[in-house]
Amino acid sequence: MTLLRTAFWVVVCVVVFKLLLVHVRVDGISMLPTCPDQSVYWVNRLAYVRHAPQRGDVVAIRFIKMDSAIARLEPPGVMLLKRIIGLPGETVAFVNGRVLINGEILDEPYEKSGYDWNSAPVTLGPDEYYVVGDNRSMPPEYHTHGKCERSRIVGKAML
């Protein structure tokens, strides 16, 4: 009976900590000040089962696009941690350090760096999100940001 109970808890732990929650450690400064370098978070992989990702969510994104749903079950070894600012079908642009969504300024209370990025408008496809880090103090070419397909989003970071 003890063996059965142990086996049950082992299965529960594997399911929870391997499939449902993914442990991430931030390496870098692109999500400052929200996520400091070397801070640790859990990513909830079930966050988007019942609803689509929302604007403002901090999400983990896989580098490698996995074609099959079964392959996507395996947690990635490395991920990007970014914030969603643009939703499918929207047009996103940076103008003098402000984000414009469909031509309207996006209020970003989490962004404290004060930046001056400018970019041409980008229209997102039906399955695409625009993601960017909170720290925009560096030139845009040194900051990984842009369109991200839904299938690359692993889950929502629990901040």
Partner 1 sequence: MKIVLRLILLVALAAAGIWLWTILFPSPEKIVRKRLAQAASEVSFKSAENPLVIAARAERFAGFFSTNVEININVPELGQHNLAGRDEITQAAAGARAAVSSLTVEFPDMNITIGPDKLSAVADVSVKVQAAGEKDVYVQEIKFTLQKIGGDWLITRVETVRTLS
Catalytically active residues are 30, 82
User: Binder to partner 1 among 26, 59, 80, 153 (CB under 8 A)?
Assistant: 80
Is residue 26 a contact residue for partner 1 (CB under 8 A)?
Answer: no
Residue partners of 49: CB distance under 8 A and separation at least 6: none
Residue partners of 51: CB distance under 8 A and separation at least 6: none
Tokens found for residue 62:
């896989």
- Taking alpha carbons only, the member of 149, 134, 115, 145 closest to residue 57 is 134
Q: What one-character DSSP code corresponds to residue 67? A: S
For 96, the enclosing helix (H) or strand (E) is none
User: Binder to partner 1 among 3, 40, 50, 67 (CB under 8 A)?
Assistant: 67
User: Binder to partner 1 among 59, 81, 148, 157 (CB under 8 A)?
Assistant: 148
Task: Confirm if 26 and 129 have CB atoms less than 8 A apart.
Answer: no
State in angstroms the smallest separation of the CB of 28 from partner 1: 6
Is residue 45 a contact residue for partner 1 (CB under 8 A)?
Answer: no
Is residue 58 a contact residue for partner 1 (CB under 8 A)?
Answer: no
State in angstroms the smallest separation of the CB of 124 from partner 1: 11
Applying CB under 8 A, the residues found at the interface with partner 1 are 27-28, 61-67, 71, 76-78, 80, 82, 131, 141-142, 144-148, 152
